[in-house]
């Protein structure tokens, strides 16, 4: 890109990050009409977009994570939810767009503190530098063109696996018509029996979970353990997503036992 504008950590020119207000909603945009993140001004911690709730069903694998890594700050929907509803967890967020970080207060994202740190860096480099660190790893890094190539390579998926602590899980948002090559790369890295993909009804998103260690049973005890780690409001907000992902885990186990 030519001209002036924000630079990523490696000096590449980026499109400006724009704040758009429409009634009670606030959104983040790189291109006019293309929403990257959305927030209600009167409820900044609320998860408005379905896939963000589905991704947080990763709590079925790790109900009380000590460390959570997040690639892609955006409007901070998941950061705000986790900071408020999952106490005792350390959140480390990497964002490669300085303009997005500059807008964090406009989106009600808390300042850095003992539980939250937002880092300006390349997401792939950040993850690769933290082996064995995260109980949960959430990947939702997009630019104006979609998923950056650096966040879809076999090397990146290997770094994600190696960044997980024992029993850790990653959840990634796959937006687009055909995410099959991303899914196959995850299966090649984690094993076919440790990748679960769910489509989002009414959206062109899929959420992929990939993990190391045991696969949750998806039974009532699994769901209750995840619910118990949340406050009352958090339980209400995530209840449908937890049940849906737990149901997919049960169905998967049933199919495996039948074979």
Active-site positions read 140
Cβ neighbours around 100 below 10 Å, total = 24
Cβ atoms of residues 85 and 108 within 8 Å:
no
Cβ atoms of residues 106 and 44 within 8 Å:
no
Lookup result for tokens 């998923």: 147
Cβ neighbours around 179 below 10 Å, total = 21
Within its chain, how far is the Cα of 120 from the centroid? 17
Cβ atoms of residues 171 and 58 within 8 Å:
yes
Distance (Å, whole) CA 204 – CA 179: 10
């Amino acid at each position: 890109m030519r001209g002036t504008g924000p630079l990523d950590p490696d000096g590449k020119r980026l499109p400006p990050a724009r704040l758009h207000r429409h009634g009670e909603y606030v959104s983040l945009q790189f291109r006019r009409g293309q929403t990257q993140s959305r927030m209600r001004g009167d409820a900044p911690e609320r998860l408005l977009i379905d896939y963000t709730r589905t991704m947080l069903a990763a709590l079925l694998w790790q109900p009380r994570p000590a460390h959570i890594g997040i690639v892609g700050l955006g409007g901070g929907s998941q950061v705000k939810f986790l900071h408020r509803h999952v106490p005792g967890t350390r959140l480390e967020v990497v964002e490669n767009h300085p303009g997005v970080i500059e807008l964090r207060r406009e989106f009600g994202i808390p300042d850095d503190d003992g539980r939250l740190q937002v880092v300006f860096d390349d997401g792939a480099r950040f993850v690769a530098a933290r082996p064995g660190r995260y109980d949960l790893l959430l990947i939702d890094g997009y630019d104006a063109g979609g998923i950056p190539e650096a966040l879809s390579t076999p090397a990146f998926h290997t770094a994600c696996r190696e960044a997980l602590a024992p029993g850790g899980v990653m959840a990634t948002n796959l937006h687009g018509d055909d995410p099959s090559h991303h899914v196959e790369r995850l299966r090649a890295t984690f094993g076919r029996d440790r990748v679960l993909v769910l489509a989002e009804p009414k959206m062109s998103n899929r959420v992929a979970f990939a993990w190391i260690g045991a696969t949750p049973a998806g039974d009532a005890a699994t769901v209750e353990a995840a619910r118990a780690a949340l406050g009352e409001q958090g339980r209400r907000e995530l209840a449908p997503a937890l049940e849906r992902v737990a149901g997919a885990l049960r169905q998967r186990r049933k199919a495996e036992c039948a074979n």
